[in-house]
C-alpha cells in the first residue's frame, strides 16, 4: 500500500519528529462491527445511564408527584333527643274537683290520711272509734281532705275530725259499728268503676265525695239488697244527672237506687 494511502480503519496524522526527519504516525481504530460487539440493548442501557448522570450533574430533578388535597371531614351534628309522646300524668283534684281517676291516688294515701284523722280524734277523746270516712278535695290546693266521723262512748257524741266539731248522739253504743280500716281499698273501688265503664275524668259530687262505712243491720247503708260489710258510695255527675252508686266489697258489685225504679 502506498505510504500516503490509508485504509478506512486507519487514519494517520504525520507530525514532525523532534529531530525533524522521521514522521510520527498516530493511528485510531474505529469500533469493529464484529459479532462480538455490544448489542443494541446494552448500548441503550449505557446511553440511559449517561443521561441520568448528566441530569444529576445539571441539577435536573424528577418532578414532585402531585398529592390530591383531602377535603376536611364534616363533624356530624348530634341529633336532638326525641320528644316524649307520653301523656302527662293527670293532676289529682284538678280544678278542685274530685274525679273517678283520683280514687286510685286516695288508695295510695289511705294509711297516712286516715291516720292523721285518728290522731286528731284521739286528742279529743281517747276512746274515739272511727265510723265513717269521707274523702274530698282540699280547698285551694291539689290535695285530699280527710273527713273522719268518730264516736265516743264516754262523751256520747260524734266527732268530726276535719272541723273539730262534735254533736251529742242518743244512740246505743253497741249499734255504732267501727270501720275496719285495714280492709278499705280505694284502688279496687277505682277498678270496679272502670270495669263498669266510668271514665277517669268523670266528676264526683263534691258534697258527698267518696265515702266508705259499714252496712250493718243496726246502721244500714245503701239500697235494699246491698250486702252487709264494707260499702263505698260515690255520686257520679254527668250530662245534668247524678248517679248514686254503692259498691260493696269484697264482691265489688255496684248497687243503685236508680236500678230499682
The ranges assigned to domains in the chain are 95-260
Interior/surface letters 75-84, b for 16+ CB within 10 angstroms, e for the rest: eeeeeeeeee
How much is the pLDDT for 209? 95
> What 3-state class would DSSP assign to 123?
helix
How much is the pLDDT for 238? 82
Dist CA 187 CA 212 (whole Å) = 13
Dist CA 145 CA 181 (whole Å) = 17
C-alpha distances out from residue 168 to 47, 117, 160, 176, 214, Å = 136, 20, 12, 14, 21
Least confident of 15-19, 39-43, 44-48, 158-162: 15-19
Dist CA 102 CA 110 (whole Å) = 12
| Cell numbers placing 70 | 383531602
Phi then psi for residue 227, to 5 deg, are: -60, 150
Q: What is the pLDDT of residues 68-81, one digit of tens each?
A: 555 556 566 666 55
The rounded percent of the chain whose pLDDT value lies above 90 is 57
What average pLDDT does range 46-56 have in this prediction? 50
What average pLDDT does range 220-241 have in this prediction? 93
What average pLDDT does range 184-207 have in this prediction? 96
Q: What is the pLDDT of residues 119-145, one digit of tens each?
A: 999 999 999 999 999 999 998 778 999
* pLDDT greater than 90 at residue 23: no
* pLDDT greater than 50 at residue 1: no
Model confidence at 174, pLDDT cuts 50, 70, 90, reads very high
Output 24 or 222, whichever has higher pLDDT: 222
Q: How does the average pLDDT of the chain come out, rounded? A: 79
Q: Is the peptide bond before 250 cis (omega within 30 degrees of 0)?
A: yes
Least confident of 25-34, 157-166, 209-218, 220-229: 25-34
How much is the pLDDT for 221? 96
Cβ contacts of 129 within 8 Å, gap of 6 or more: 150, 151, 152, 176, 178
Q: Single out the residue of 129, 138, 87 nearest to residue 109, CA to CA.
A: 138
What average pLDDT does range 162-178 have in this prediction? 94
Interior/surface letters 231-253, b for 16+ CB within 10 angstroms, e for the rest: bbbbbbeeeeeebbbbbbbeebe
Model confidence at 185, pLDDT cuts 50, 70, 90, reads very high
Q: Indicate yes or no: pTM above 0.75.
A: no
How much is the pLDDT for 30? 45
Give the end-to-end CA distance of the chain in Å, rounded to a whole number. Answer: 164
How much is the pLDDT for 36? 45
C-alpha distances out from residue 251 to 85, 173, 222, 228, Å = 38, 29, 15, 11
Q: Is the dihedral of CA 39, 45, 47, 53 positive or negative?
A: negative
Dist CA 191 CA 197 (whole Å) = 10
Dist CA 3 CA 25 (whole Å) = 11
Amino acid at each position: 500500500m502506498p505510504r500516503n494511502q490509508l485504509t478506512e480503519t486507519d487514519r494517520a496524522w504525520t507530525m514532525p519528529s523532534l529531530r525533524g526527519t522521521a514522521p510520527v504516525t498516530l493511528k485510531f481504530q474505529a469500533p469493529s462491527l464484529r459479532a462480538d460487539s455490544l448489542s443494541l440493548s446494552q448500548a441503550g442501557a449505557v446511553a440511559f445511564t449517561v443521561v441520568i448522570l448528566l441530569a444529576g450533574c445539571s441539577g435536573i430533578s424528577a418532578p414532585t408527584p402531585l398529592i390530591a388535597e383531602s377535603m376536611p371531614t364534616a363533624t356530624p351534628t348530634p341529633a336532638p333527643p326525641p320528644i316524649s309522646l307520653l301523656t302527662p300524668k293527670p293532676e289529682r283534684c284538678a280544678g278542685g274537683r274530685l274525679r273517678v281517676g283520683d280514687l286510685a291516688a286516695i288508695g295510695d294515701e289511705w294509711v297516712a290520711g286516715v291516720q292523721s284523722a285518728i290522731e286528731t280524734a284521739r286528742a279529743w277523746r281517747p276512746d274515739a272509734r272511727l265510723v265513717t270516712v269521707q274523702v274530698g278535695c282540699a280547698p285551694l290546693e291539689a290535695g285530699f281532705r280527710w273527713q273522719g266521723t268518730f264516736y265516743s262512748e264516754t262523751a256520747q257524741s260524734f266527732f268530726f275530725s276535719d272541723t273539730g266539731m262534735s254533736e251529742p248522739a242518743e244512740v246505743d253504743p253497741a249499734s255504732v259499728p267501727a270501720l275496719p280500716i285495714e280492709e278499705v281499698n280505694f284502688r279496687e273501688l277505682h277498678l270496679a268503676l272502670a270495669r263498669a265503664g266510668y271514665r277517669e275524668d268523670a266528676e264526683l259530687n263534691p258534697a258527698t265525695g267518696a265515702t266508705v262505712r259499714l252496712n250493718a243491720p243496726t246502721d244500714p247503708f245503701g239500697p235494699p239488697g246491698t250486702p252487709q260489710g264494707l260499702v263505698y258510695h260515690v255520686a257520679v255527675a254527668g250530662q245534668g244527672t247524678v248517679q248514686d252508686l254503692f259498691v260493696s266489697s269484697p264482691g265489688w258489685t255496684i248497687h243503685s237506687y236508680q236500678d230499682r225504679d
